[in-house]
Amino acid sequence: MKILYHHRTASKDGQAVHIEEMIGSLRALGHEVHVVAPGGESAPEDKARMGDDAGWVHRLRARLPKWVYELLELAYSLVAYRRLAAAAKVFQPDLIYERYNLYLLSGLMLKKRLGLPLLLEVNAPLADERDKFGGLALPRLARWAEGVVWRGADAVLPVTKVLGAMVAARGVPPQRLVVIPNGINEEHFDAAPSPEDAKQALGWDGALVLGFTGFVRDWHGMDRVIRWMATDAAPGNARLLVVGDGPAREDLERLALALRLGERVRFTGVISRDEVPRHVAAFDIALQPAVVAYASPLKLFEYLALGKAIVAPRQPNIEEVLDDDVNALLFDPAEAGALETLLARLASDAALRRRLGEGAHATIGRLHLTWLGNAQRVVALGQSLRAGGAEAGPGPATPATQVMSPTGPMNATNPTNADGAKDVKA
């Protein structure tokens, strides 16, 4: 298939990982992918870096009035549409795959002009998210634009069932929804060193390492972990490794200093994605202290791939992947001290850590949580939409729109195998 892949993401963080891995996996399956994005497609050496973000975007947003910035976002749709139309004229794609972003209408515009199927990947309800965390000057316009794109796509691909329900509540028929969570590149993580070698490289031989990866923010709750590190419940050999950077780093470093934790807490700062496996390999306890209600956190899949004992909040989107006492320990985020209790329990029980780690590693194969599997599902869905007629849209006659599930077949006929590929799904 010939896939026109469109996104407006400038960040070099987990978003870029998703984009790069999906494009790479689609190509690995033998499909042609033409990328239309700000600045063009990233070169292989310009891979996402863990804990990085698009600083220039945030600086621009900070300097402009919100309403001006939002109108510029909407106007960018015209610029992107011209680029997409020019690319489509030469490339002659079979479908459009777009990563949803707020005020981005260009993929839908091209779909309407050419009658191509539009598959829309949705990672967050951005109008609600920005209204809550960053503020919107034009909330009605934002929600209008979001709803138009969601309802106009032939298939919407939310990353969790929870997010899928939010999309459905905005008028998207459930039969158009196919949940495809994040995944991992197995080859990337197969190259990770042993835990012993990883700890030795850090100068932490014999340590009990707690770890977190990603762009750390205040709401992640890492301050609770640092405070726990300073209590008698934390073994003397306990160490905390934060792989990445973020706006919460300064405050967390100050807190660790005030609690006299010294070298027991370490931040790597921004690192290459290629370096992530060798750092995560050192973890004995992998941390997800908090997460928004609809997300599919990339770090969880990395923890699972390397067989780590995971601590995470008990909430529906997390329970789509994690099972308490099987591949993780889950705590009630509303219960005071619940996270700390589980940290103490895991820190004192090596056998429990081993058992949870084995369950975590098995989860990747059991649920087929790989980027390659995700790409196979996207291709199968695209083929089904084309066979059913893109102009008609995904209705009851389109076989790829019968089930919304992150782990089961995409539909009753399991089009995951429609291209003859191995049955790998995410």
> Which region among 125-139, 170-184, 301-315, 330-344 has the lowest average model confidence (pLDDT)?
125-139
Mean pLDDT of 55-71: 79
Question: Which of the two residues, 389 and 176, has the higher pLDDT score?
Answer: 176
User: Looking at residue 135, what is its pLDDT?
Assistant: 81
For the chain, give every residue range classified as CATH 3.40.50.2000: 2-183+370-417, 192-367
3-class DSSP state of 317: helix
User: Looking at residue 55, what is its pLDDT?
Assistant: 56
CATH architecture, domain 192-367: 3-Layer(aba) Sandwich (3.40)
Tell me the pTM.
0.86
Encode pLDDT of 320-346 as tens digits: 999 999 999 999 999 999 999 999 999
Place of tokens 């909407």: 74
Q: Is the pLDDT of residue 404 over 50?
A: no
Task: Retrieve residue 419's tokens.
Answer: 């291209």
Encode pLDDT of 234-248 as tens digits: 999 999 999 999 999
> Are the beta carbons of 96 and 118 closer than 8 angstroms?
yes
Mean pLDDT of 283-300: 96
> Are the beta carbons of 276 and 50 closer than 8 angstroms?
yes
Average pLDDT, the chain: 88
Encode pLDDT of 79-126 as tens digits: 999 999 999 999 999 999 999 999 999 999 999 999 999 999 999 999
Range 93-112 burial, b when 16+ CB lie within 10 A, else e: bbbbbbbbbbbbbbbbbbbe
Q: Does domain 2-183+370-417 have CATH number 3.90.1640.10?
A: no
User: Looking at residue 273, what is its pLDDT?
Assistant: 86
C-alpha angle 238/242/248, rounded to 5°?
A: 120
User: For residue 166, which amino acid is it?
Assistant: M
Q: Is the pLDDT of residue 400 over 80?
A: no
CA atoms within 13 A on the CB side of 22: 26
